[in-house]
Amino acid sequence: MKRLLGVVTAVGLVAGLVMAFGIAPREATQGNVQRIMYLHVPSVWVAYLAFAVVLVASVVYLVRRAEAADRLAHASAEVGVLFTGLTIATGSIWGKPTWGTWWTWDARLTTVSILFVMYLGYLLLRGMIDDRERGARFAAVLGIVAAFNIPLVHFSVYWWRTLHQPPSLMKPGPSTMPGVIVAALLVNFAAFTLLYVYFVTRRARVLRLEAEAEA
Amino acid sequence: MTADNWSFVFAAYGLAVVVLVTYWRFLVRRERELSEGDTLRRHGSGMPEPQTEHRSP
């Protein structure tokens, strides 16, 4: 099953690359640098997904004290931090040629940085507390509180005046982008979602083995 | 005509490949280490190996 998921994920990622570089056209205004979008936007989607899973798994853990839910929250937070970091880095690389700067304290960039730091803190908190049950409980509370930042990140482009463009796809109503660009983006969304599931499954298994080794 | 800035595109994708492959290799290595440790512990403690179910054809 693990191998099958890995193979399907790899095929999905290759398909995503083919769509991004072979099928999707060169964007008229930005040129080829716009192809970073097929990496940047699915990365932030995975970050949102990962932190939403942390929220749900944390609630389940607090209600049922199920260790599997705690492991899922931990694994998902780690993968979420990885993809948030990737979002910030690829956004910065994309920003230099299009905005003329690597970084600006724009509302979207600032809120996503806060999101990154909060979940980094979540992971540090888990590592700091020796008592596993206590650490899991504190982390679950932080996992729930930190999730309130997700809508703040997403809607920051509507609520404040920002340099960052509003969402082109993750918004109500039809997309204004050409169909082929939307298709390329959707293939990459699917591939990155598979990659998220693959990483979280493997990380949760490692966490279970670590807990068994310590017991 | 806009400049294509391919170097930025390659930098972004290259960084993503390095980060994701590094994390994947970390997971694979850690899982292997822990699985080997688990097998050694079972041998040391005299616990039986986890058996897969055998079915006659």
More confident residue, B18 or A159: B18
Distance CA A186, CA A169 (A): 9
Q: Tell me the per-residue pLDDT of A28-43, one tens digit each, with 9 for 90 and over.
A: 888 999 999 999 999 9
Residue A126 CA to residue A137 CA, distance in Å, equals 10
Two tokens at A19? 């769509």
* CA torsion angle B13 B18 B20 B22 (round to 10): 180
Of A171 and A56, the one with more pLDDT: A56
CA of A11: how far to CAs of A24, A36, A191, A194, B10, in Å? 18, 20, 8, 10, 21
User: Which residue would you say has higher pLDDT here, A173 or A49?
Assistant: A49
Structure tokens at A210: 């670590």
Burial class (CB in 10 A: 0-12, 13-18, 19+), A131: exposed
Between these two residues, A130 and A71, which has the higher pLDDT value?
A71
Mean of per-residue pLDDT scores for chain A: 92
Task: For residue A59, give the nearest of A147, A125, A124, A134 by alpha carbon.
Answer: A147
* CB spacing of A205 vs B30 below 8 angstroms: no
pLDDT-derived band at B57 (thresholds 50, 70, 90) equals very low
Q: Which positions in chain A have a beta carbon within 8 angstroms of at least one beta carbon in chain B?
A: 26, 28-33, 35-36, 39-40, 43, 82, 85-86, 89-90, 93-94, 96-97, 195, 199, 202-203, 205-206, 209-210, 212-213
Nearest CA in chain A to B16: A86
User: Which one of A94, A206, A214 makes the best mutation probe of the B interface by having the most chain B beta carbons within 10 Å?
Assistant: A206
Please count the residue pairs, one from chain A and one from chain B, whose beta carbons lie less than 8 angstroms apart: 74
Could you give the percent of chain A with pLDDT greater than 90? 74
- Residue of chain A whose Cα is closest to the Cα of B37: A213
Quick check: B15 contacting A, CB < 8 Å?
Answer: yes
Residue numbers in A near B24 (CB within 8 A): 199
What average pLDDT does the segment A197-214 reach?
94
Residue in chain B closest to A94 (alpha carbons) equals B8
Q: What is the pLDDT of residues B5-51, one digit of tens each?
A: 899 999 999 999 999 999 999 999 999 999 887 777 666 666 665 55
Mean pLDDT for A127-134 is: 89
pLDDT-based confidence at A119, cuts 50/70/90? very high
pLDDT at B55 over 60: no
The larger pLDDT score, comparing residue B52 to residue B23, is at B23
